[in-house]
Structure 1
Amino acid sequence: MTGITGTGPLHLPADAPSAPVAIAFGASVLGGRPGSFVEGRLEASLQLYRLGKAEKILVSGNQGGMSGDEIAVMTGWLLDRGVPESALLTDGAGLDTYLACRRARDEFGVERVLLVSQFFHARRAAALARHLGLDADAVRAECGCTRRAWVRNLAREYLLSRPKAALDIARGR
């Protein structure tokens, strides 16, 4: 599954190339606050914006998710840290990585993009984005997660998410 795991560098925000847009992928929000995975993605996206590596941040996730409104929480977090509303794009229908990348292309006209996520997800995101014709680079987000959360998410990535990505590509979803 090399095509799904992706190839190419996984940049730190300070070393990332520039792009008009950085996508911050959604995940669980808890009690109106970003969960640790989301907060890491937001921190890295904020760094990219402040360093002038991304002109805009596309907040993509589930607006009506079981854990709460990912878009409202993520947008609020960025606004509270000084990112102007004019630098934010929001997509509450980016329900998974494939949809987030496809909608970035189709709904927002994105061609060149930085994909911000933890190491286990970022390269898969870049592989999917490239399959969709985007010029994409992966940017690593940190996470202050528990060991249990890491193990759970790594298992999810390898047992569920990568096979699903392979099916998405095969079906041309």
Structure 2
Amino acid sequence: MFLANFWVISLTEGRTFKKISKIPTQKCALVLGTSPKTREGRANPYFISRLEAVMALYNLGKIKRIIVSGEKSRNYDEPHAMKNYLIYNGGIPEYSIIEDPGGFNTQTSISRCKYIYQEHNIIIVSQRFHNVRALFIARKEKMNAYAFDAKDINAKESFYRNHAREFLARVKAVVLYILNISPHISGDKINIE
């Protein structure tokens, strides 16, 4: 398990960025989904942090298009919530935002970015603990991906829960890589232009 985590981290070394000035320009950003609200009904700081990060990339000309990918089900729609936040809180034009309602997990979001939206050169936006695994998956898909680290949250409970979960998720990503297992992606191709 530790070797799997070491492999994921070492393969993605040098492709995650905290400073916008250092990250290479790409046409598109992929924002990985998370719930807009916490279990207590408050605004989710991870959600806000990711969207603030992608707004900064857009406003500084590092990207031209934004794919917001997440879960959409009855009475729950992460991509639509992200799109609304970007429009109403960030002034991002609606034509620059593409909703991906089929991003039920990180692997599916990245595969759909490549096969449905036909984007190979991307900046992934999430917190660093998540970005490392996302980059590993993008590398498996032979994508030219970088990651921009949104601000992490320091609350101890969520910090430890997320990092423990991510430790196990990286092991799963390595197993899927070794066994060459990818999600089945179907649907019409979409040109984000």
TM-score, length-scaled by structure 1 = 0.90
For the residue of structure 2 that corresponds to 1:124, the secondary structure is helix
Looking at structure 1, the residues matched to 164 and 74 of structure 2 have their Cα atoms a distance apart, in angstroms, of 22
Shift of the 167–138 alpha-carbon distance from structure 1 to 2, 3 Å rule, reads same
Residue ranges of structure 1 left out of the alignment (5+ in a row): none
Shift of the 34–86 alpha-carbon distance from structure 1 to 2, 3 Å rule, reads farther
Displaced runs of 4 or more, over 3 A: 31-34
Kindly report which structure 2 residues correspond to 1:66-85, keeping only aligned pairs within 5 A, or say none. 68-80=76-88, 81-85=90-94
CA RMSD of aligned residues (A): 1.9
Residue ranges of structure 2 left out of the alignment (5+ in a row): 183-193
Kindly report which structure 2 residues correspond to 1:17-96, keeping only aligned pairs within 5 A, or say none. 17-30=24-37, 35-64=44-73, 68-80=76-88, 81-96=90-105
Aligned mate of 1:15, from 5, 22, 29: 22
Deviations 1:54-78 (A, max 9, x none): 1111100001288x31111111000
Shift of the 103–151 alpha-carbon distance from structure 1 to 2, 3 Å rule, reads same
- Give the deviation of 1:33 after TM superposition: 7.2
Looking at structure 2, the residues matched to 148 and 47 of structure 1 have their Cα atoms a distance apart, in angstroms, of 28
TM-score, length-scaled by structure 2 = 0.82
Larger Rg: 2
Looking at structure 2, the residues matched to 28 and 167 of structure 1 have their Cα atoms a distance apart, in angstroms, of 27
Q: Which amino acid aligns with 1:164?
A: K
Shift of the 34–46 alpha-carbon distance from structure 1 to 2, 3 Å rule, reads farther
Question: 8 Å contact 2:153–2:159 — kept in the other structure?
Answer: no
Question: 8 Å contact 2:49–2:150 — kept in the other structure?
Answer: yes
